Copies of this chain bind each other. A is one copy, B any other.
């Protein structure tokens, strides 16, 4: 049953067991070329008999394709993007016959660069990357990729022609703002996750991630559509770190006329709002309203439920894989820019001020 020699049986062991040559054994197992039905069956029997499993590494080297795709992703937990995207990509890859080599960039461009390199060295057939920065991405350009196809997800790097799958955060955010305005909110807070700032600031940092820019633009156009003046909008950019974002929330709530609703650009920021509000005994959906991007199980289960801009993350992962696989088999396709629709899920975290008028805090 097991190989008589120490290590795993190879195809020559199968050939010996079936009494044929290596070439015939290979033909029988990978059915190509000409083999008689009887010998083919004999070889297959022998293969099972001795527990033969083809060495995929040798196979990959010979045929020039590893059956593996590389995923470089940012492992942040609170946004439930990492896990949902990873799972859907892993599952979709499997259904296309690929395995996934995963690497975490931790939002660091140098780590990302290295990860891409390492995965390419391991001969992945293609790459899916969540780019960590808007600029500085030579490593995502075709020459650096050695011709291997790439699909970026969640964010689009500036000025790079590349196939991307993202979500329409712009119109989702716009819709959410208009919804809040229709419930009577006239003073809006916007807590924006920003990279490269320390603590928080009122000045817009550059560059920002394309996904964040989208949300900013959506917020702006939503506010304009609702007729809410700039002076009634409080924009705070915060480092994506609990202490910093909590300080930013405190800052917002301490203003003489604080916003009645806070929009956050991701779940980290939303949790900061929950925490600070809780410490101050402010009730979400009554004393302060909250809207965030990305749905999650907890956002739906807690009281009050959190109103969210829901993104189809699973669909995004599946599409990224299917586009990548398609480019692997046919590399000369034009680049695609796929944008998936988002959806506002209204729950109870946004107070209806037309029913329950706003009470001044303190």
Q: A334 interface residue, CB < 8 Å from B?
A: no
A298–B271 CB distance below 8 A: yes
CB distance from A148 to the nearest CB of B (A): 10
A227 within 8 A of B: no
Q: Is the beta-carbon distance between B54 and A121 smaller than 8 angstroms?
A: yes
Interface pair B91/A104, CB less than 8 Å apart: yes
Minimum CB–CB distance from A73 to chain B (whole Å) comes to: 9
Say yes or no for A32: interface residue by CB 8 A criterion: no
A302 to B298, Cβ gap below 8 A? yes
Chain copies in complex: 2
CB <8 Å contact, B90 and A57: no
In this assembly, does A83 line the interface, its C-beta being within 8 Å of a C-beta of chain B?
yes
Nearest B residue to A99 by beta-carbon distance? B101
Residue on B nearest A118 in the bound complex, by CB: B99
* Per-residue interface assignment for chain A, residues 15 to 42, with 1 indicating a CB less than 8 Å from any chain B CB and 0 otherwise: 0000000000000000000000000000
- A356, CB-defined interface residue at 8 Å: no
Q: Which chain B residues lie closer than 8 Å to A94 at the CB level?
A: 103-104
Residues from chain B with a CB closer than 8 A to the CB of A256 are none
Q: Which of A174-182, A202-210, A272-280 contacts B (4 or more CB under 8 A)?
A: A272-280
Closest residue to A242 on the B side, CB-wise?
B297
- Asked if B100 and A101 sit within 8 Å, CB to CB, the answer is yes
Interface string of A34-73 (1 = CB under 8 A from B): 0000000000000000000111111011000011100000
Q: Which residue of B lies closest to A279 (CB)?
A: B303
Q: A87 near B75 (CB under 8 angstroms)?
A: yes
Q: Residues of B contacting A58 with CB < 8 Å? A: 61
Query: Residue A120 at the B interface, CB < 8 A?
Result: yes
Most buried by B among A66, A83, A84: A83
In the bound complex, residues from chain B placing their C-beta under 8 Å from that of A82 are 83, 87
Contact residues in B for A159 (Cβ distance below 8 Å): none
**Which B residues are CB-close (under 8 A) to A119?**
99
A90 lies within 8 A of B102 (CB): yes
Q: How far is the CA of A55 from the CA of B82 in the complex (A)?
A: 29
Min CB gap A336→B, angstroms: 25
* B57 contacts A66, C-beta separation under 8 Å: yes
A296 to chain B minimum Cβ distance, whole angstroms, is: 8
- Our pick among B75, B80, B120, B284 for the contact of A53 (Cβ within 8 Å) is B120
Residues of B contacting A268 in the complex (Cβ-Cβ under 8 angstroms): 297
Query: Smallest CB–CB gap between A293 and chain B, Å?
Result: 15
Q: Nearest-CB distance from A77 to chain B (Å)?
A: 5
CB distance from A274 to the nearest CB of B (A): 4
A123 interface neighbour in B57, B84, B274, Cβ under 8 Å:
B57
Contact flags A299-311 to B (C-beta < 8 A → 1, else 0) = 0111101000000
Please, which residues of chain B bring their CB within 8 A of the CB of A90? 75, 102-104
A123 and B55 in contact (CB under 8 A), knowing A101-B68, A118-B99? yes
Which chain B residues lie closer than 8 Å to A296 at the CB level?
298
In the complex, besides A77-B80, A101-B102, A278-B301, 6 extra interface pairs with C-beta distance below 8 angstroms are A57-B66, A90-B103, A100-B102, A101-B101, A272-B301, A298-B298
22 pairs across A/B with beta carbons < 8 Å?
Answer: A2-B143, A8-B146, A53-B117, A53-B146, A54-B121, A57-B60, A57-B66, A67-B122, A68-B122, A75-B91, A77-B87, A78-B297, A78-B298, A82-B83, A86-B102, A87-B104, A94-B104, A101-B102, A271-B297, A272-B301, A274-B301, A274-B303
